[in-house]
Structure 1
């Protein structure tokens, strides 16, 4: 019963996002800035491996972690895979198109982001928040969070070895949408 309620809450959350803005479109044309203790570059294959205190910046996108792997496809889209450590998790932050100070911000043991499909996956004690003026509007928590920015869809998955006694395996805190709809 609790799992059904969680799924219904997440479904309604996903449906309520239809009127929200998308990721910052200007990010697509920005250069990638990479920092790490060690960077290995294969310019022919467009593959970059980063080790130690990874920082990736592309426009409003900021990804941090301990180790990272980036591949650039022939069209110039990046696929980013960054892992953290138990002491310092991997993180992702991106400004959203539309309202001036709206951001998506998340963290987990691993962050993967596909710039072509605008698909973000946070794995391992994951958390994802939507912030407006640095105040949390929505928050998701779970073992794995998948966020499709194009379809405005969230999916929270529990660990494979989860037991029913471990509930709640996923949690969503959602802000009312009525006021935002009326102010348009």
Structure 2
């Protein structure tokens, strides 16, 4: 039973640490996309959940086998008519039943905690993915806005340059025309 509680505690710790967003190795983290990290985290959660459930099932099976063995020993003692063996077998059966009941209760409690922890971790991971998506959307929108602003500013600068060039060209043309008239009038 202590083993089951230890497994539940370890599973809870693993579930909680699997949601840690702090990068450990920037070389490998930078190569993985947010979606890949989400997929990896969900796979890890499923693996830990499956392992914890398998261990709980194994402990339940062992406890049930002890109960069945104690029943068989009691039946054998009754069949032989050995009162001392029967008394010992009844005591062993009571202990096995108590252990089995405690194991079932612990497994049920640990299973609920594992399920709750997994669900919380999945929700936290989904929330992190959603936040990442929202941040990417905001960054995209800001990039679009900045690009539009830069394009507008560039367009205005080009318009100003064209206008000034046109003014300068008109002034030069006017000056040339004046000079031509001055030359003709001389």
Measured against the shorter chain, the TM-score band is under 0.3
Which entry has the higher C-alpha Rg, 1 or 2?
2
User: Taking structure 2 as the reference length, what is the TM-score of the superposition?
Assistant: 0.19
Q: More helix by proportion, 1 or 2? A: 2
TM-score, scaled relative to structure 1: 0.20
More strand by share: 1
Relative contact order, higher structure (CA 8 A, sep 6+): 2
